[in-house]
Amino acid sequence: MQRVGIIAKPHAPGLADLLRRLLPWLRQRRFEVFLDAEAAAATGVAPGHPRAALPALVDWLLVLGGDGTLLSAARLLEAHDVPLLGVNLGSLGFLTETAVDELFTRLTRVCEGDYVLQERMRLKATICRNGERLEQPAVLNDVVINKGALARIITLETYVDDLYLTHYRADGLIVATPTGSTAYAMAAGGPIIHPAMRACILSPICPHTLSHRPLVLPDTVKIEVILQTPNEDVLVTLDGQVGIPLYHRDVVEIVKAERPIKLIRTTKRERYFRILRTKLKWGEAVRTRPED
């Protein structure tokens, strides 16, 4: 864990000041530091590397930004077993749960080996078109099939493990991991699933048939979705950041990715419920037991 890569959100508030404190701190402790181009630009002096090249150079990644920055970093790790530590530089994140004011305390624990690696499942999507298989990067949150702004309701013929499920007539369909259950899938009415669960969620977006409800499936299934609506503007989006056009009779095949992502956790107790309460603004009554 002596070679650390730093991936940063460009123009994040306080990034330059944080890096001016962080880089000497790491180097004093004999870490070899590799900066991505955005992080290097914020320092004004340090050389940078292409972001895609970092996973092959380092033992772990320090991600400075928000959940979106961490999601984009995670897509670089399909062929690399490199864990991530996310540091939140904006509003509270579900994935980047380390706050700036506790960063150096967390890093000290990493130096001492006082941390655990928490695995999060990912999804792998492949677009099958005219006999060709177009593999897409693994995603941590979700694979979404959705219509464009001016498109009509689309029809999605859906199979689970080669068994017919239904024809969704809807604005789209979300296939989400437990990690992604608190993202777009939640906004579409899906359940919140603890990230340790081995499951995936199938959530239609604004279905025409009101009895079409979100469906929780084992993470071992293969999901196939066939676009049955011609001449419409339809996309497959990966973690809300990458979009691929989808055409009539294209098949989107979704399975669990072979390699999970690993997040570095340095707290002894799970913070997940605290993050849920804060992020979702759940009310709190007076507790009978104090929180650690």
Tell me which residues are annotated as active site. Answer: 67
Cβ–Cβ under 8 Å, residues 63 and 77: no
Residues paired with 175 in a beta bridge: 143, 202
On whether the CB atoms of residues 59 and 5 are closer than 8 A, the answer is no
Phi, psi of 254 (to 5 degrees): -130, 125
Q: How far is CA 94 from CA 66, 120, 243, in A?
A: 9, 13, 23
Distance CA 43, CA 29 (A): 19
Q: Which residue has the tokens 């509003």?
A: 91
Tokens of 65: 């930004």
